[in-house]
Amino acid sequence: MSNLIRFDNVSFSYGSNRVLEGIDLEIREGEFLAVLGYNGSGKSTMAKLINGILLPTEGKVYVDGMDTSDETKLADIRKTAGMVFQNPDNQIVATIVEEDVAFAPENLGIDPAEIRIRVDDAIKAVGLEKHVKDAPHKLSGGQKQRVAIAGVLAMQPRCIILDEPTAMLDPKGRSLVMGVIERLNREKGITIVLITHFMEEAARADRIVILSEGKVAENGSPKEVFSKKERMISLGLEVPPVTDLTLRLIDNGIDLRKDIIKPEELVDALLEIKETTD
Amino acid sequence: MRDITLGQYINGDSVIHRLDPRIRLILTLVYIILLFILKTIPQMLLALALILGAYALVRIPVKMLLKSLKPIIPIVVFTSVLNMFFVNGDVIFSFWKLSVTRQGLYYAVMLSLRVICLLAGSSLLTYTSTPIELTSALELLFMPLTKIGLPVNDLAMMMTIALRFIPTLLEETDKIMAAQKSRGANLDTGTFMERIRALTPILIPLFVSAFRRADELALAMECRCYNGGEGRTRMNALKIRRSDCIAVVVFIGFCSLIVLSGRISL
């Protein structure tokens, strides 16, 4: 698969405050990438560099070969890489769900009939068919966040960057939003860059990048990254609860693999042990 | 406060609901102008009948109309009474230093009818149009003014966003009030000035948060390729249909008849 997004020795500073330093990173088309890091590690800055909201102080960011500092390409870049933010309330523009989803294609000057099709598709993809005509303020947090995702989806982007999309949601909203994100990645092949604080969300990604002090501290599959518990803790993070549990079980003499990161994996492993002892 | 309805739109599928909002807006304006042209009580009564007919079409209960008239009753009564006493003319009866004249009485009735019709007419517009419809109607009607440099697209966008954020900010106000009360703020008692001053700790956090929201919203809009109105298309573009033309003809016809009826009686 080809590279959709490329960070080429990127540094970024707010004034004299250096947030990112010498980032080299490639994100493949169709990949599901999770970005972790403690608060202030530069995660959000990295996200904003991708679609040209911020421009690198040094180095270059390329989206589908387009340089984000090239102003003539800005609309194309933002159409290719859509962005969803943390607070759903602050990214919904219109007073009716379908009008909001139509906002981006309207901005792009797309034909009304085509907008209609895109809006219906996007709303279906996030499972909000029943709320097409509702006012956003009557929806729950998880529903609002799905409206925001649909609003980006209507641009038909090849990549969606989500900046802590579940941070303000309750558990039910969180799992629904994560479900939508995973489905978009698997079924529509949309590249996902998920910035998150939740290790169990990151465990669902293809690859994890950990930022620390503005640099890429770890870059690997969830199994590789989460099997290094001490390293995670030294980076101000933790391992997913199920990994933590597995490690404790191992400490207590139960024979398990160290790289268990999803609940279903632990269940399978334990069932296997049960069968052999029966 | 959460359930506050924006405007007073009543969902429905009447002939008037189905009109293009631009036509609804223009016809309302025509009606208002008509009310100021009319000179006699019978004409005014016809105008009232016209608007009541429109209410019947929309099937809005009269009770609802009366409810919306309620707040202006004191004003109507007050100005009518003033008119009754202070218009010079043929005295009907008088007491103390005041006297009621025939012209004064006539004028008072005229005025009351006019105010009632005005309110009924403009309410009908808001009963049958969503704020969004009104915004897009205004946007399209004012579009020619972009030529003289009026940023019509931007203004319409601002109005949409304002409408969108009213419930959000109301909710936020509720939260801030609860937060300040839980820290001992006294909002409900005290003199008028004290209560005004007690609003400061509510308004300041509200403004700070509104600015923060505006910042984030601007960012989100930029990410969705917003760059002003240029080259924008609309999903639900407004279209003038044949039913709209018929409505215009019928309505203008009625209005002309009412105006002409005044001529005949002269």
pTM (predicted TM-score) = 0.81
Which positions in chain A touch B156 (Cβ < 8 Å)? Answer: none
Confidence band of B160 (pLDDT split at 50, 70, 90)? confident
- pLDDT tens digits, A174-186: 999 999 999 999 9
- pLDDT tens digits, B11-46: 777 878 888 888 999 999 999 999 998 888 888 899
Contact yes or no for A31/A5 (Cβ under 8 A):
no
Quote the pLDDT of residue B265: 56
Which positions in chain A touch B225 (Cβ < 8 Å)? Answer: 75, 78-79, 104, 107-108, 155
Question: Which residue reads 């409505």 in tokens?
Answer: B247
B222 pLDDT exceeds 50? yes
Tallying the residues shown for chain B, one arrives at 266
Q: Is A1 helix (H, G, I), strand (E, B) or coil?
A: coil
- pLDDT tens digits, A154-168: 999 999 999 999 998
What percentage of chain B carries pLDDT values higher than 90?
Answer: 16
Confidence band of B166 (pLDDT split at 50, 70, 90)? confident
**What is the spatial distance between Cα B263 and Cα B261, in angstroms, rounded to a whole number?**
5
B225 vs A78, A87, A136: nearest CB: A78
A248 pLDDT exceeds 60? yes
Contact yes or no for A93/A147 (Cβ under 8 A):
no
- pLDDT tens digits, B53-104: 888 888 887 787 788 788 888 888 888 888 877 777 777 777 777 777 888 8
Q: Is B23 helix (H, G, I), strand (E, B) or coil?
A: helix
**What is the spatial distance between Cα B215 and Cα A221, in angstroms, rounded to a whole number?**
35
Residue partners of B81: CB distance under 8 A and separation at least 6? B108
Domain segments of chain A as ranges: 1-84+159-168+191-222, 88-156
For residue B82, the Cα-to-chain-centroid distance in whole angstroms is 26
**What is the spatial distance between Cα B219 and Cα A104, in angstroms, rounded to a whole number?**
13
**Interstrand relation of A17-28 and A3-14 (parallel, antiparallel or unpaired):** antiparallel
Confidence band of B1 (pLDDT split at 50, 70, 90)? very low
**What is the spatial distance between Cα B238 and Cα B105, in angstroms, rounded to a whole number?**
46
Fold for A1-84+159-168+191-222, please state it: Rossmann fold (3.40.50)
Domain segments of chain B as ranges: 15-129+241-265, 142-223
C-alpha dihedral (B157, B160, B161, B164), degrees to nearest 10? -160
B264 pLDDT exceeds 90? no
B4 pLDDT exceeds 60? no
- Please count the residue pairs, one from chain A and one from chain B, whose beta carbons lie less than 8 angstroms apart: 96
Given the cut 0.90, state whether the ipTM is greater than it.
no
Interface contact A82-B219, CB threshold 8 A = no
Interface contact A102-B235, CB threshold 8 A = yes
Residue A9 at interface with chain B, using a CB cutoff of 8 Å: no
Quote the pLDDT of residue A1: 52
Interface contact B132-A99, CB threshold 8 A = yes
Tell me the nearest-neighbour CA distance from A77 into chain B, angstroms. Answer: 10
Q: Is B124 helix (H, G, I), strand (E, B) or coil?
A: helix
